[in-house]
């Protein structure tokens, strides 16, 4: 018994036979047999990509209807003789030519290499060249800036002292507070920074501005120590730090070491904030 199969079913049956499956018709027919493959049992789609072609998996067979697709090479653009030459083929002639050719090419580099010197404002002067302070922002109302030594090991002690002072001044427990440090020139080792008073003023004002940015009202400012007091006094008149109600006392480290100074500092703060 012979039966003609569609090309797709013939190919499927051939593949099943390679796998050992010899029943190639439906189960109801219960027919077995051999599939005779014509030389080219199904049309080859020439437009299909070569990666999905059946011929790739059977390139080793000598059947007339199967062969591997040849790769299509991309067309190579043709270049003119001028384009084939390197762009620097006339570099020696340009280097030996007049300077006007080279100056135009190097102009952007020369502009970037020019030193821009900004002279400091002579009106901004201070004798303070180094500063090391601790800041305490308490209850979004009170800001304490205190001098501390460069080598200081009592940060926790003066922090507790600042909290006690804040509670006494504000007459309420301190539920929200933060502490931080400011050092000038810090890790910078360039001696040029020591003469830039305007940079020191700008750094201090930016530092204080970050601390009081969430204060709903004008903060009370306590300047504790000779250096921070002198530096704020040297600020220009329009500086915001000079607009805050301010009390000037000795540094918190001195108040901690010499408790007898606390009474005088308390009186100064009372007279500054509660007139």
Local confidence pLDDT in tens for the 275 residues of the chain: 567 777 777 777 777 777 666 655 554 555 556 666 656 554 555 454 444 444 454 444 444 444 555 566 666 666 666 555 555 656 666 666 665 555 555 555 555 555 555 555 555 566 777 889 999 999 999 999 999 988 878 889 999 999 999 999 999 888 899 999 999 887 766 766 666 778 888 889 999 999 999 999 999 999 999 999 999 998 888 999 999 999 999 999 999 999 999 999 999 999 999 87
How far does CA 41 lie from the centroid of its chain?
A: 64
| 41 and 136 belong to one structural domain | no
Same domain for 29 and 149, yes or no, is no
Q: Pick from 57, 78, 99: which residue ends a domain?
A: 57
pTM, full prediction: 0.56
Could you read off the pLDDT of 103-123 as tens digits, one per residue?
555 555 555 555 555 555 555
User: 138 and 259: one domain?
Assistant: yes
Domain that holds residue 148: 131-273
Q: How many domains does the chain have?
A: 2
pLDDT digits (tens, 9 = 90+) for 57-98: 444 444 444 455 556 666 666 666 655 555 565 666 666 666
Does one domain contain both 52 and 172? no
Q: Are 141 and 152 in contact (CB under 8 A)?
A: no
Identify whether 74 is part of a domain: no
Specify if 144 maps to a domain: yes
Q: 169 and 256: one domain? A: yes
**251 assigned to some structural domain:** yes
Whether residue 45 sits in one domain with residue 138: no
Any domain includes 17: yes
Residue 83 has what pLDDT? 56
Identify whether residues 141 and 266 lie together within a single domain.
Answer: yes
Within this chain, do residues 32 and 136 fall inside the same structural domain, yes or no?
no
Establish if 213 belongs to a structural domain: yes
Tell me, yes or no, whether 120 lies in a domain: no
Residues 258, 135, single domain; the answer is: yes
- The full 3-state SS of 36-96, as one line of letters, equals CCCCCCCCCCCCCCHHHCHHHHCCCCCCCCCCCCCCCCCCCCCCCHHHHCCCCCCHHHHHC
**Residue 34 domain flag:** yes
* Statement to judge: residues 52 and 162 lie in one domain: no
Task: Evaluate whether residue 46 is within a structural domain.
Answer: yes
What pLDDT is recorded for position 9? 76
Residues 167 and 269 reside in one and the same domain:
yes
Residues 135 and 53 in one domain: no
């Amino acid at each position: 018994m012979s039966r003609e199969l569609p090309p797709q079913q013939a190919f499927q049956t051939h593949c099943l036979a390679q796998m050992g499956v010899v029943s190639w018709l439906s189960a109801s027919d219960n027919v077995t047999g051999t599939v005779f493959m014509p030389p080219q049992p199904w049309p080859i789609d020439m437009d299909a990509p070569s990666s999905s072609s059946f011929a790739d998996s059977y390139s080793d067979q000598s059947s007339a209807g199967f062969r591997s697709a040849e790769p299509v090479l991309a067309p190579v653009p043709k270049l003119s003789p001028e384009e084939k030459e390197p762009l620097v083929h006339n570099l020696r002639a340009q280097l030996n030519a007049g300077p006007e050719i080279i100056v135009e090419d190097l102009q952007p580099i020369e502009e970037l290499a020019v030193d821009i010197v900004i002279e400091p404002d002579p009106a901004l002067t201070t004798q303070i060249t180094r500063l090391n302070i601790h800041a305490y922002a308490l209850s979004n109302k009170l800001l304490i800036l205190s001098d501390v030594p460069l080598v200081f090991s009592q940060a926790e002690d003066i922090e507790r002292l600042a909290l006690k002072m804040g509670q006494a001044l504000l007459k309420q427990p301190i539920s929200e507070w933060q502490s931080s440090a400011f050092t000038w020139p810090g890790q910078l080792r360039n001696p040029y920074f020591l003469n830039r008073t305007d940079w020191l003023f700008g750094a201090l004002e930016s530092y204080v501005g970050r601390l009081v940015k969430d204060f709903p009202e004008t903060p009370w400012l306590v300047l504790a120590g000779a250096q921070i007091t002198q530096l704020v006094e040297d600020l220009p008149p329009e500086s915001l730090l000079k607009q805050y109600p301010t009390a000037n006392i000795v540094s918190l480290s001195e108040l901690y070491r010499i408790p007898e100074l606390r009474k005088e500092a308390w009186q100064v703060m009372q007279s500054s904030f509660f007139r």
